[in-house]
A = this chain, B = another copy of it.
Amino acid sequence: MIKLPLFRNRLQNIFDCFGKSIIMDEAFSKGKILVNINDIARLAGVSKATISRVLSRSPHVNESTRKRIQKIIDDNGFEPSHLARNLSRRKSQTIGIVIEDIANPFFISISSEIEKILYEKKYNMMISSSQWNRDKELEIVQSMIRSSVDGFIIAPISPDSEAVALLKRTGRPFILMNTFSEDPDVNYVSTDDIEGGKLAARHMYSRLRKDEKIILVTGYEHQNLSRRMEGFFLYMESKGIERDQITHYRNINTYNDGLAIVPTILMRSKLKSNKASIFITSDDIAMALQEGLLQNGRTLPEDIRIIGYDNIEFSRRCRIPLTTVEQSQKDIGIIAAMELLELINNPLKEVKQYLLPPRLILRDSNP
């Protein structure tokens, strides 16, 4: 019977051996497979401090011994443990991304921009979605803290959600994304959604026909949406169209919600006979409405004109390419990543608050 201080672990180590070709006979004879810095040190006949130096490309190591050691490292397929390294260095080289929905094309393109930059700067990313649930959002942030992420990019459910408060309170580096904050100490990058709402309204108004219905469709009660709505209403008011003349369908959150509301809209707004212009505060839902209306035999854009919001990749590829208000996912991603990296390296850097300008994109759905 083998008797070792940490027997269980050793056993696991031995288990791991199945299917491996063994390079380090010496280590193997001791029932050990995974190579670590000590093994390499012993093999090279130097101290592990030296190995550590070649691992981190320190200049303070003789060129010839560096080469010799590097060869031993390569030959044995030694991969230094980031766990140990990070524990020792007190940083993990990973940053946490918290978004609302990982399947949302809008966030996907932002994330992929972020990833490019982080990859370049040798950072990893950890990504998780809150599903518009405040508890889950908090849980995610806590879990990321346990994982020792170096900083956060978070699209919070609200700028004063508990998760954000926790980040603030514990002084961890973070950037708010797609949300703006009244707090002058908080870094954020967002789009000027009031302006965005106005852009949509102005275009819609310029194309408005006689007796045409104006319809507004919105999703989750979120700061962004309120601002888009607000801008929309403000412009319309400036043209003498009051809020009660605009039919408002709320809480249409998913593609399927969008499909499901179509019969109601058709009936309530009497769209069988009337023409209409619809502003929908997200492209994803806009596509659902479009689909539903087409299925119900309406012709677009002749009968019903649609304006969306976001300009996701797919907006130009859907049934009737969407006229929409663009938020540049590329810019948001790049700025968020760059700012966070700076913030991590210099916690005293000045606060930056970006409110990016939206842009109207004309396509067939409301030409």
Contact = CB atoms under 8 A, between A and B. Distances in A.
B81 A171 contact: no
Contact of A18 (B12, B126, B171): B171
Contacts of A13: 90
A220 interface: no
A82 B147 contact: yes
A105 B317 CA distance: 14
Interface string A149-190: 000000000000000001011111000000000000100000
**Most-contacted residue by chain B among A20, A80, A317, A348 (CB, 10 A):** A317
A38 interface: no
A232 B83 CA distance: 48
A84 B87 contact: yes
Given A102-B112, A318-B318, A347-B16, A83 B287 contact: no
B317 A16 contact: no
A242 interface: no
A225 interface: no
A81 B77 contact: no
Contact of A79 (B102, B109, B142, B287): B142
Contacts of A80: 146
Contact of A318 (B17, B319, B347): B319
A314 interface: yes
Given A87-B84, A126-B126, A170 B318 contact: no
A64 interface: no
Nearest to A84: B87
B77 A170 contact: yes
Interface in A70-88: 77, 79-84, 86-87
**Most-contacted residue by chain B among A81, A126, A172 (CB, 10 A):** A81
27 contacts: A9-B90, A12-B90, A13-B90, A15-B347, A15-B348, A16-B172, A18-B348, A19-B185, A20-B169, A77-B170, A80-B146, A81-B146, A82-B146, A82-B147, A83-B86, A83-B87, A83-B147, A83-B148, A102-B112, A102-B115, A103-B109, A124-B143, A124-B147, A126-B126, A127-B127, A314-B317, A318-B319
Interface of A: 9, 12-13, 15-21, 33, 77, 79-84, 86-87, 90, 92, 102-103, 108-109, 112, 115, 124, 126-127, 142-143, 145-148, 166, 168-172, 185, 287, 291, 314, 317-319, 347-348
